[in-house]
Structure formats: C-alpha cells, structure tokens
Structure 1
Amino acid sequence: MRLFLFVCLSQALLCTLVCCHHGGPHDDDDDDHNHHASEAKAFLQVVPANIKFSYKFYSHLAAAYPHDNLFFSPLSISIAFSLLSIGAKSNTLSQIREGFGFNTSLVSEEDIHKGFQQLLHIINQPKGDLQLDIANALFIDNKQKLLDKFLDDAKNLYHSEVISTDFQKIKEAVEQINSFVEKKTNGKIKELLDSLDPLTVLVIVNTIFFKGSWENSFNVNHTKEEDFHVDENTVVKVPMMNRQGKYQVAFIQEIGCTVVHVPYKGNTSAIFILPDAGKLHDVEKALQNVSEAWTKQMTSRDILLSIPKFSISAELDLLKELQPLGITDVFSDRADLSGIRGESNLIVSKAVHKAVLNVDEEGTEATAATGIGITKLSLPPRIKFNRPFILTIVDKDISTALFTGRITNPNK
C-alpha cells in the first residue's frame, strides 16, 4: 500500500533587471580522480556558505518580524543570486558574495560556480519516494543581445533554460513567467508576478519544489482539535496530528528548547525546534551559534509527538530584506552588472521570494499496529508543538537547509 506524501513545499524567487543610466572521455585514471577531487573541493566551499547565510538571514527576519510566521528557502535565494553574480563585477560582486556567506579571499569565483553546479546535479537526481526539483530560467527580452559567456555559464553551471520574451507586451510577459512558475511548482504558486517595469530586459527565475513522505506517517483518525498558544493572551484552535514512535530527540536545557528530528523517506528530514514558553526569541538568537554539542545530545526516544496540521504562505521583498546584509549596490545606480550584456546600465529593480508550506497527514499508515506498546504504568513523554516553533527542512545529501521558518500562528 502506497504511503501518500504529506508535506509539500514550493517556492519561487526572481530577480528582475531593468535598464538604468549611470557611469559607465578522460585520458587516464589520474585525470578522472583530479576532476572528481576538484568537484568535491568546490562543493565543500558552497555548503558552509549556504549554512551561514541561512542562519544570518533567518536571524535578520526573526528580529524584523518578531510576531509573524516566517517561511523561505535560503538555498533558492542563494542559487538565484549566484546565477546573477555571473554577470556582476567589482563591489557589486563582492557584496553578493560576502552577503551570502562566502569569504572571497579563500574561495575563487570558479569554485563557487562549480560548487553550485555540483549541488544542482545532486539535488536533481531521482530520489524514489522523494520529489525534489530545482529549476532556473532566464527570460530575455527578444530585442536584447546578452554576452555569450553569461548565457553559456548560466546554461552549463546552473542548468538554466533561456526563454525569449517580449517585454514590450508587459501583460503577456508576466503571464509567460507566471505560467512557467506555476508549472515548476506543480500549481502551488500561480502568480509570482503582478507587474514588471517597462524597461525590463531580463528576469531570472528560480523555483524549488519539494514533496516528501514521512518515514512513519500520521494516522488521520488520531488528529484532534487542540489549543495552540500564539502568545500569553491568544489561543487558537488547530487540528493536531498525533503519533507515538521512536524519534531522535534532544532537550537543550542551556537555552530552553526541545529538538525533534522527523525523517522523510529518502535522505531528507524535518527538524522541529520547540522553545520553552517565553523563550522563542532567546532560542532564535542561540541558533546563530549552533554547536556540535546540540547534535551529540540527540538520542532515540519513544515519544508521543503532536504537530499541528497547517498551511501557510509567505512573501519577501528581497530588495528590502537583503540590504541589511550589505547587499546594496545591485539594487542601485551603483550596480555593475556589465558581465550580462557588456554595459554598466543594468540594476535589479525587483527581487521577490514566495513560499508555500502545507503540512498534513493525508494517506494511510501502512503499518499502523506494528511496534507500538503502550501501558498505563509507563507512558512515553509527550512533545506537543502547541506554541510558536521553528522548522527546518534539511537535505542530508548536500548538508543544506532547503527551507526554514517559524510558525507563530498555524491559522494565518
């Protein structure tokens, strides 16, 4: 009996560039070994930078929006801006690299792009029960001539499609881009764009679609309506999914939170972090200094796990949210994107990030009665996510967060 995938996340990111006017087969085994060693080195340069950006960007958003739901894909944002950086030069390039967690004195541009190339290759491999797909596309004004190097690198390093677009017909161009995004996100995001600047010459789009089955699914008959404590004064009713089983759990007493590792089929997991009452913002600050000690505290325990069933959507204006990270020039008349078409008269005028998260328990528990033993004398501890919590979807193949967020109110 087939287990239904019950978590589906999809999101898309775009950067829109508009005109502005301002200044200016191997020869031998050694070759094969060296090639793979080079790929591995490049990949290992990208992973820590992606992790660093994920923590830094989450920290910024958490402080800026202390009471809101948050949900985004740090990986998707990183990929889109790294693709853009093919055409960036001087301070514009340096800001993008440093803002996204790279130490430019230790890693070369070539290694960064090769690292993303390898990352995309790993992600887009078939994964059986897990669906994880990333797509990149360049929508190019049909009257513009972009540099061959920019186009070739976008295709070869970032597996990007190149799509001719008539930006003189704004409505049709918006519909064309939205249709691409809707298809790539399996209908989860229908309207990424509502408008475009009439001077648009290029739109860069990145989509990531994830659909995974819990390794041990929840029984729909065990879902009950319960209280969720948004804050000290606000309580809302939510459908709470319940399951008893063995999970990797850690009680991090020094900062006041509980961590539960909930695996999907395949090599991907959801990490749920439940701060103690009143400790949400303290835990969020501590996330910037996650240490190996956290991982060492994870032990396999039999627990009663309760997670809300919910759907949320989120949208970020990256022009606004990336500037506090030092990424400013690319959005101003100081932008140097001359590597795109050979002229320094392009800026990013729009950068939108949209995300959708659905968590539910659809499907049937294939082994509902197996391995569960409950007695009145020794009930396992119950971990109930009935107050604001943090969620990260991690791909262990690439040691990277695919999505991350904070649920303060599952009903919003």
Structure 2
Amino acid sequence: MKLLIFLCLSQALLWVLVCGDHGGPHDDDHDHHDHHDHHDNEAEALHQISAASLKFSYKLYYHLAAAHPDDNFFFSPLSISIAFSLLSLGAKSKTLSQIQEGFCFNTSLTSEETIHKGFQKLLKIISQPKSGLQLDSNNALFIDNKLKVLDKFLEDAKKFYRSEAISTDFHKVKEALEQINSYVEKNTNGKIKDLLDNLDPMTVLVIVNTIFFKGSWEHAFNVNHTREDDFHVDDNTVVKVPMMNRRGEYLTGYISEIGCRVVDVPYKGNTSAIFIIPEKGKLREAEKALQNVSQETWEKAMKPSKILLSIPKFSMSEELDLVKELQALGITDVFSDHADLSGITGDSTLSVTKAVHKAVLKVDEEGTEAAAATGLGFMKLSGPLLRHVKIDRPFLFTIYNKDIATDLFTGRIINPTK
C-alpha cells in the first residue's frame, strides 16, 4: 500500500487600501555585486520560470472558468507552481514529466536544474522587503518522525525553496493537524486558520506553501467617497455593493479583439492590480478571446488617461481540490499508485492523496480612516467630466508583480456579494 503525501497550498491576499507609507526604506536588489555570468544565468532561469508560471496561470484559469461557469474563483498560480516544483525534486520518470508538462515547463529548452534555480531566484526577490508592500512565501515539509527521507531531497528543498523540515508524529492526528494549521495561520498573518480539517492515517509527509500579500495603493482611495451602487451580475440580477471611487491617471485601454476595458491600478512596490471588464453579457466570449491576444496588442491598447475609477469592495474565501483540477490538466500519475516519488525516500511507496489550495481575499479600505487625515493621494470627485471606468459587472483580475514578471494571483468575480 502506498504511503501518502498531502500538498497544502494556502494564500492570503489582503488587498488593503491605505494612505501613507507604512513600510521600511526601499531595499535595492542585492544582486548587483554578483558576477555577470552568474547574474545572467539567474536572470535566464527566472525568465523561464516567469514564462512558465504565466502559461500555467492561463491554463488553470480557463479550465476553472469552463468547469465553474457561474462562480467566483481565484487562486495563486505561483503558490501552486512552487509547491509542485518542490515536490518534483523527488519525482522520477513519467511522474516527473507530467508535472513538468502540466506546469508548462519546456524541458527541451529548460533543464531541471534551471527550473529549480529559477524558483530559488524568485523566492530571493520575493523575500526582499519593499516600502508599502508585504509579500511573503514560505515552504515547509512536515515529515513523519519514522519516515527516512533522502538527504539530497532535504538539502535541495532547503537550497532552492528555502523549505524547513519539521518532524511530525502523524499517528497523533489531532496534534499533527494543529501543528500544520498553526504554521499556516502564522505565515498568512492569521488569515487562514484551518487549512486542513482531516488527515488520512497513512499520511507520512505534508508539503505546505503559503503566500501572503498585503499592498498599499500607490494612490489611495478616500473612504468618504465610497457609495452604495448597483452591480449587474446578469440581465436579471442586480446586487448592491459599496463602490470605491477615485479620480486620477491610470493606464487604461479598450481591446476591441476581446471587447474588454482594461485598467491597471498600481500598488507601491512594483505590483499592479489589472482589472479586465468585458462588455455587458459578454464574459464567456471575452474569456475565450483572451487566449489569442498578443502582448503587443495588449501594450498598444494601454495608455495613461485621467479617469474616474469605481471599484467594488468585496471579500471571498476559496478552496480548490487540486487533485481533481490538475488531473483534468493531465497531471495524473502523482495522485495514483503509479506515482514515482523515489527521489524523496529512495523507493516508490509514496503518492499524493490530497492537494488543497485555500485562499482568502479582502478588498476594502481597512486602515484608511487613520491615514485619511494626512490628505495623501486624495482628489476631489467633482471637476471636469472624465471617462468613467466603472466595474459594475462581472470582471477578471490579476495581481501582477513586475519584479518577477508573473501573476501572484488571478481570478474572476461574477458576484462580489457572494
């Protein structure tokens, strides 16, 4: 009988609209002292990872959109990629190739070592503090205290993924659950409290990745300008939402090929929230057409414009059963008796029985009241008539980090009150 691995991926996205600068001093990239060759190799490795992560982001998005046509959803493609790439350190043969192909790594161009070095560089960049932005990713291996894990797997997990190894007694299920859930709660700043509610008695290893993001808008919204407004879920359903409003200059454009208005709302710390707002009733068509839009078309459409921007406040909690979703994308062996994870223990007695991805998202003005007195980033709503970009119907969104050129989070909101 196979012994079991749980992969647990959690993300807490606290999308906080705050005035002022609450971070420490800006931290320059420490890599400028590195040798040029080493720096070039690292840059190329990171580029490969970023490109693969974006492809996987689109791939999983379109699968979820088709599988859950009427639902809100969001996820961290980066969190999922990190956890499975860490797991792939111990994967062999078809199990390894399915993970690599499923996560869009072109192994004819990118070696295994380059993939792991790319994540090593990415996690190094993420860990550097930035003013006004908190972005943390942590990895942990909870290992049964009777399981003999190969030194190479543990060393590589630590070297490339900064993963700590934590001894766990899985025979004491309640204590093991508490140990894992406490780790997750701590590393998501208390936002995800119960990632796991049960453990299979055959479990010997749990791999956890957490991502926590807290951002301050580059130009804050004024809480006093938030008004209750209509959000058109579909032709027959209108709900009331608190709508935040701000006049300012934003990168925006209309992409006729997909019938969408796009607006880039920047955070401090080289990160943006990108909102994609399809024409009313055209969400499905827009999602389909998005797959074929070139980067050049996208960039050509986006221009800085003075607009009145209206964004709904919303919060949501999401849990994905990644076994089901990834099997649909062709990643099957790792979840079956055919799994070859012999790079973890030296034999092929391990398989993944459960892969959980849990996420919370909060978009509000928390913290703005205290900071509002400074008057930073506020503009009066009255004045010359501007183009009104109002997000009052189903939309897509992405949180994109320019330092690593990839999506931290992506999703779709059909109804912000659910």
* Same fold per superposition (TM over 0.5): yes
Select which of 365, 388, 407 maps to 2:413: 407
Match of 1:91 in 2: 94
Match of 2:50 in 1: 47
Alpha-carbon displacement from aligned partner over 1:161-198 (angstroms, at most 9, x marks no partner): 11000000011101100000000000100000000111
How far apart, CA to CA, are the structure 1 residues paired with 2:154 and 2:147?
12
For 1:313-392, what aligned pairs fall within 5 Å after superposition?
313-362=317-366, 363=368, 364-365=371-372, 366-367=374-375, 374-375=382-383, 378-392=384-398
Does 1:271 find its partner at 2:274? yes
Distance of aligned partners of 1:193 and 1:371 in 2 relative to their CA distance in 1, 3 Å threshold: closer
Select which of 391, 395, 398 maps to 2:401: 395
For 1:279-290, what aligned pairs fall within 5 Å after superposition?
279-290=282-293
Shift of 1:37: 2.0
Select which of 124, 127, 151 maps to 2:127: 124
For 1:245-264, what aligned pairs fall within 5 Å after superposition?
245-264=248-267
Match of 1:67 in 2: 70
For 1:198-277, what aligned pairs fall within 5 Å after superposition?
198-277=201-280
SS at match of 1:244: strand
How far apart, CA to CA, are the structure 2 residues paired with 1:236 and 1:51?
33
Shift of 1:289: 2.4
Compute the RMSD of aligned alpha carbons: 1.9
How far apart, CA to CA, are the structure 2 residues paired with 1:401 and 1:162?
28
Aligned residues: 387
Contact 1:56–1:288 (8 Å) recurs in 2: no
Instruction: Report which stretch shifted further, 280-289 or 306-315.
Output: 280-289
How far apart, CA to CA, are the structure 2 residues paired with 1:249 and 1:215?
16
Alpha-carbon displacement from aligned partner over 1:45-98 (angstroms, at most 9, x marks no partner): 111101100001101000110110011000000000000000000000000000
How far apart, CA to CA, are the structure 1 residues paired with 2:334 and 2:288?
29
Q: What TM-score, normalized to structure 1?
A: 0.91
Contact 1:141–1:201 (8 Å) recurs in 2: yes
Select which of 294, 298, 307 maps to 1:294: 298
How far apart, CA to CA, are the structure 2 residues paired with 1:266 and 1:338?
41
SS at match of 1:76: helix
How far apart, CA to CA, are the structure 2 residues paired with 1:75 and 1:298?
25
Shift of 1:208: 0.2
Distance of aligned partners of 1:279 and 1:30 in 2 relative to their CA distance in 1, 3 Å threshold: closer
SS at match of 1:80: helix
Shift of 1:369: 8.0
How far apart, CA to CA, are the structure 2 residues paired with 1:118 and 1:159?
11
SS at match of 1:289: coil
How far apart, CA to CA, are the structure 2 residues paired with 1:169 and 1:182?
20
How far apart, CA to CA, are the structure 2 residues paired with 1:149 and 1:237?
55
Distance of aligned partners of 1:139 and 1:30 in 2 relative to their CA distance in 1, 3 Å threshold: closer
Distance of aligned partners of 1:43 and 1:196 in 2 relative to their CA distance in 1, 3 Å threshold: same
Alpha-carbon displacement from aligned partner over 1:136-161 (angstroms, at most 9, x marks no partner): 00000011110000000000100001
Match of 1:304 in 2: 308
Shift of 1:44: 1.6
Which AA in structure 1 matches 2:157?
Answer: A
SS at match of 1:190: coil
Which AA in structure 1 matches 2:134?
Answer: Q
Contact 1:7–1:211 (8 Å) recurs in 2: no
Select which of 107, 110, 127 maps to 1:107: 110
Contact 1:245–1:372 (8 Å) recurs in 2: no
Distance of aligned partners of 1:231 and 1:345 in 2 relative to their CA distance in 1, 3 Å threshold: same
Q: What TM-score, normalized to structure 2?
A: 0.89
Shift of 1:7: 5.4
Which AA in structure 1 matches 2:64?
Answer: L
Match of 1:19 in 2: none
Select which of 193, 197, 200 maps to 2:200: 197
Distance of aligned partners of 1:7 and 1:283 in 2 relative to their CA distance in 1, 3 Å threshold: farther
Contact 2:248–2:308 (8 Å) recurs in 1: yes
Match of 1:15 in 2: none
How far apart, CA to CA, are the structure 2 residues paired with 1:370 and 1:31?
42
Distance of aligned partners of 1:54 and 1:373 in 2 relative to their CA distance in 1, 3 Å threshold: closer
Contact 2:257–2:289 (8 Å) recurs in 1: no
**Gaps (5+ residues) in structure 1?**
9-28
Which AA in structure 2 matches 1:156?
Answer: K
Distance of aligned partners of 1:124 and 1:318 in 2 relative to their CA distance in 1, 3 Å threshold: same
Instruction: Report which stretch shifted further, 204-213 or 274-283.
Output: 274-283
Distance of aligned partners of 1:31 and 1:69 in 2 relative to their CA distance in 1, 3 Å threshold: closer
Distance of aligned partners of 1:249 and 1:172 in 2 relative to their CA distance in 1, 3 Å threshold: same
Alpha-carbon displacement from aligned partner over 1:190-228 (angstroms, at most 9, x marks no partner): 000000111111000000000000111111111111111
Shift of 1:282: 1.3
Alpha-carbon displacement from aligned partner over 1:219-252 (angstroms, at most 9, x marks no partner): 1111111111111111111111111111110111
**Gaps (5+ residues) in structure 2?**
1-13, 19-31
